[in-house]
Amino acid sequence: MRISELFDELNQAELGELLDLPVRGTEAISARDIRRRVDRALDEDPMERRIHMKRTYKKVLCAALIAAVLLTGALATASRLNLLRGWLPDDGIAELVVNTEKQSIENGDLRLTLEESLADETLTYIAYSLTALTDEGQAILDDLQQEQGRQYHWTGEGITTGLEPSADVLVGVYATSSTRVTNRAPRNSSIRSESLPTGQPNKLLFRSYFLGKGGVYLTLDGADGQLNVPQSANAQSAEIEFDFPTNIPLPNGEEATFYSLRLTSLGYALDAKAWFADSIKQQFELEYMLHLLMKDGSIRTMTQLAVNNTYTGGLGRWNEVLDLKTVDAVILNDTAYYLNGRAPKPYQLPDEYQIVRVEPETIYTVPGTKNGVPYDAPIPGYPARDLLEPFGGTVDWDEETQTAVLTLGEYTCTVTVGSPILQYGDGETYTDPFYPSLAEVINGELYLGPFSLEQFLGLRCCGRDRYTGEIMDPTDIQAVYYTK
């Protein structure tokens, strides 16, 4: 029996399953091409035609032939879509299992397939595809490809927990229940989606992460049913309740109440409220008051662990899969709250883990416009020593070359007065495309201009004070708060 006859005896569903084997993100492999190559090989040797095969083996043979090609060469390790690449380290999935069991629903023109997922109580990562089944479906995909910059135009922008599916959303990603921490108010959810290349004109591939949920499901407009995202095996969870008779003072002079914190393998949900007199003028991200005490005695900060998203109201994701078995306690306000339920105990953090407030100084101006009127826009800089030394960092200044070497822990970079070029790492350089200088000397003191302190020095901005509360005006900053 010929290989072609084996294919011909499969029903449409079986054939479709076998022909849908290309691994997304790699060079596509066509099962039909495999069939043609095998046929040519058989035609070259007439004896092969006369080999008898039992019909009971036809499905196994087809699958084995295709799998043999898929598992050779560079494709041997391409068993899944690597949806977390760029979000988590390649080896950072730890014990969690990425779900690769596909689910699909159709509306006649399109097929929506849940390709992969990784989920726990606070965060869901998903990869999903849209496949055209008709010319009309292909036209829809072509339209989507024309709008690559609009990542939310079909996912339901501004999704909040518990939002009901909308008929005008092509693909919807929704929460099944509210995210609650210690049964307080439901928390809003946040979704981020982006497209991935497939190399196939009839298929689009996307990935998303969904912050804050009880469960997540996908819908396709016009299709029956929904795709429920499963929880990942071995997901961990711990919840801590903070019990304070009074509010906790914040570095910006205001106060906040911390109610509880849920930690999971993938992210966190913090229930806390700041009692700002003016939330527009004073912004402070409360999660940066927290530190994790590890069982080996080390301290890990939210700057080290949390991905720097736009503010999401106490919901966040880790930049790695966090093994909670390695975490002993959460430290807040010089008190350790233990994950195993032990009574809280005082714990004094070292000075290097404090939050530092620095005030800007105009270091130069650049031409700009405000309300359509040209003006000299002031560029703020921050005193280097006031910023680094409280964290244990150093500033080594060379007067002759007007160059400073900035060191903080494992970070080292070099700036030169009047230059947009920054040196870091092992001889690498960064040139700022917008600002003419990344360092200036004002009244005998070195000020650092607008470059990424997080990327090059490991410091993260966790709050700002403004003069008038004009959020979109960067020149209105009165002070900035940094943490290590």
Q: 326-340: per-residue pLDDT in tens?
A: 999 999 999 999 999
- Say what the pLDDT of residue 152 is: 36
Low-confidence ranges of the chain (pLDDT < 70): 1-86, 89-95, 146-168, 177-190, 213-214, 244-246, 277-280, 309-313, 469-475
Q: Classify domain 103-228 by CATH number.
A: 2.60.40
Record: fold of 356-483: Copper Amine Oxidase; Chain A, domain 1 (3.30.457)
pLDDT of residue 484: 87
Please choose, from the candidates 226, 244, 252, the residue with its C-alpha nearest in 3D space to the C-alpha of residue 173: 226
Show me where the domains of the chain are located.
Answer: 3-77, 103-228, 237-349, 356-483
Residue with tokens 């409220």: 273
**Is 439:416 a contact under the CB 8 Å cutoff?**
yes
- Residue-wise pLDDT for 396-441, tens only, equals 999 999 999 999 999 999 999 999 999 998 889 999 998 999 999 9
Nearest-angstrom CA–CA distance, 378 and 376? 6
What Cα–Cα distance (Å) separates residue 287 from each residue in 20, 211, 217, 302? 44, 15, 28, 7
